[in-house]
Amino acid sequence: MKINENFFNLSENYLFSTVGAKVSAYQKAHPEKKVIKLSIGDVTCPLAPSVIAAMHRAVDDLARAETFKGYGPDRYCYGYDVLIDSIKGSYARKGVALSSDEIFISDGAKSDLGNLLDLFSADNTALIPDPVYPVYVDTNVMAGRKVVFANANEGNMFLPMPDEKVQSDIIYICSPNNPTGAAYDRVQLKAWVDHAIRHGAIILYDAAYEYFITDPALPRSIFEIEGARECAIEICSYSKTAGFTGVRCGYTVVPNTLKRGGALLNRLWARRQSTKFNGASYIAQMGAAAVFTEEGEREIAVNIDRYRGNAKRISECLEGLGIWFTGGKNSPYLWMKCPRGMKSWEFFDHLLERANVVGTPGSGFGKNGEGFFRLTAFGTPENTREACQRLGEILK
Ligand code: PLP
């Protein structure tokens, strides 16, 4: 019996465990200090009232024989019509027309990002931005696929552009990006779409943070870009949009015009999902269907505005200190350059010890993250304000 030895090629990621261990040790040694975490990557606001009401109604449906639901409908890989229609409506408001069979409901973006790789040969090469959400690299390493990197750095504002000399088959784009908060505009994204079409590559477009975009020059879906239906798959999530990190619901759009190797990827994905997945829960789907209603959108906007307010406060603080950073405007993440040439972990220790503020060392997201640091807007406004004040005191 042989196991998948590709697992031995995964690099251990001690980022969040080391952050946690260092913070606990500091708190133990200094119980009188109030430590503020600007490192929170999870949402903190509760679910919107209309989502809660819809989930309560769904539970009641399950309690009565007449309205009970078992497995979801076969027709759209277990997605309920009401949810698929609401997602279609939300795309239509972005000027994108989708048909119902192009929308696949899932239990979140992370699973789909990993599972989509079932469609591609292990001989393909994946092009992954550095730094980025570590799941892209690890899922490809597990499959034994070759990974090459698109270098993001200060010079390109952490938005790498295509390099015609680099051949790749699967291209990852995360916009707005985790951890850098940088987001591509339409012209930049069009260059990626044209590049993918020229090279016969597929773009896996992670739009988990699209709801944070306010700038009308920035697309919220890759399908706003001409040609994307011939080269892209878009992975979306209710996690950061509507606080579903614990509920679990997302969706992936696979256009029925997307062909590679003589196969329609939409059909392959439908086959993969109906074989290895049994749908997101009815309760989660009904809650999600309430998100893109008029009332739901109004309610989630209140939560997102709170995070945006925090991001703006941190942006103003960094601007005031003359610190270079990306993000914060169309993203809950701010990606700052460590002051005085400090390395990421050095700055982490400095901030923890001197200001009792916690952030995330950029080096944990890829080699190009060294010397950078991620701050997030998911804390409370009070703590964010206080953390900014402390940053101002130690970094001025
Ligand atoms: N994609 C990115 C870029 C993320 O940062 C995250 C979570 O932090 C996810 C996907 C995971 O989303 P989900 O909760 O829907 O699995």
Domain topology for 5-46+304-395: Aspartate Aminotransferase, domain 1 (3.90.1150)
| pLDDT the model gives residue 350 | 97
User: Which atom of ligand 1 has the smallest separation from the CA of 112?
Assistant: 16
In angstroms, rounded to a whole number, what is the distance separating the alpha carbons of residues 152 and 163? 12
At 11 the pLDDT is 87
Query: Looking at ligand 1, which atom is closest to the CA of residue 244?
Result: 14
By most ligand atoms within 8 Å of CB, the mutation choice from 110, 113, 204 for ligand 1 is 110
| Tokens 């079932």 -> residue | 118
Mutating to test ligand 1, I would choose from 42, 111, 178 the residue with most ligand atoms within 8 A of its C-beta, which is: 178
- Ligand 1 atom showing the smallest separation from residue 133 Cα: 3
CA of 315 to the centre of ligand 1 (A): 23
Q: How far apart are CA 189 and CA 196, in angstroms?
A: 11
Burial (CB count <10 Å: 0-12, 13-18, 19+), residue 250:
buried
- What is the reported pLDDT for 396? 86
pLDDT for position 363: 96
Cα-to-centroid distance, 208 and ligand 1 (Å): 6
- Please list, in sequence order, all residues whose beta carbon lies within 8 angstroms of the beta carbon of residue 66, skipping any fewer than 6 positions away: none
**Predicted local distance difference test score (pLDDT) of residue 205:** 98
If one residue of 16, 133, 211 were mutated to test the ligand 1 pocket, choosing by the most ligand atoms within 8 A of its CB, it would be: 133
From atom 8 of ligand 1, which residue's Cα is the shortest distance away? Answer: 41
Quick one: tokens of 292? 């893109």
Going from the Cα of 109 to the center of ligand 1, the distance in angstroms, rounded, reads 6
Low-confidence ranges of the chain (pLDDT < 70): none
Percentage of the chain modeled with pLDDT above 70: 100
- Token output for 41: 């990557």
Closest CA to 312 of 205, 190, 220, 181: 181
CA distance 200 to 94: 26
Are 235 and 40 in contact by the 8 Å Cβ rule? The answer is: no
What is the 8-class DSSP label of residue 223? G
Nearest to 49 by CA among 213, 208, 242, 210: 242
What residues contact 190, with CB distance under 8 A and at least 6 apart? 225, 226, 227
- Compute, in angstroms, the gap from residue 68 CA to the centroid of ligand 1: 31
Nearest residue CA, atom 1 of ligand 1?
Answer: 208
Q: Which two tokens stand for residue 311?
A: 């991001």
Q: What is the pLDDT of residue 14?
A: 82
**In terms of Cα–Cα distance, which of 330, 329, 327, 317 is closest to 357?**
317
Q: Is 210 helix (H, G, I), strand (E, B) or coil?
A: helix
Kindly give the distance from the C-alpha atom of residue 113 to the centroid of ligand 1, in angstroms, as a whole number: 9
Separation of CA 69 and ligand 1 centre (Å)? 28
Report in angstroms the alpha-carbon separations of 281 from 106, 299, 314.
9, 23, 37
The whole-number pLDDT of residue 362 equals 97
For ligand 1, residues with CB inside 6 Å are: 41, 108-110, 133, 174, 178, 206, 208, 237, 239, 245, 250
Query: Ligand 1 center to residue 32 CA distance, Å?
Result: 35
For residue 179, the CA-to-ligand 1 centroid distance in Å is 11
| Nearest by Cα to 140 from 131, 386, 15, 149 | 149
Q: Kindly give the number of the ligand 1 atom that is closest to the alpha carbon of 237.
A: 15
Task: Tell which one of 158, 240, 249, 376 to mutate to probe ligand 1, the residue whose CB is within 8 A of the most ligand atoms.
Answer: 240
- DSSP per residue over 11-45, as a string? PP--HHHHHHHHHHHHHHH-TTS--EES---S--S
Phi and psi at 105, nearest 5°, equal: -80, 140
Convert the pLDDT of each residue in 154-203 to its tens digit. Answer: 999 999 999 999 999 999 999 999 999 999 999 999 999 999 999 999 99
CATH architecture of 49-294: 3-Layer(aba) Sandwich (3.40)
> How many whole angstroms from 263 Cα to the centroid of ligand 1?
28
- At residue 341, the pLDDT reads 96
Write down the domain spans for the chain. Answer: 5-46+304-395, 49-294
Map tokens 């309920």 to a residue.
80
Q: What's the 396 CA to ligand 1 centre distance in angstroms?
A: 34
What was the pLDDT predicted at 76? Answer: 87
> Which of 392, 382, 118 has its CA nearest to residue 276?
118
Determine the distance separating the centroid of ligand 1 and the alpha carbon of 64, expressed in angstroms: 34
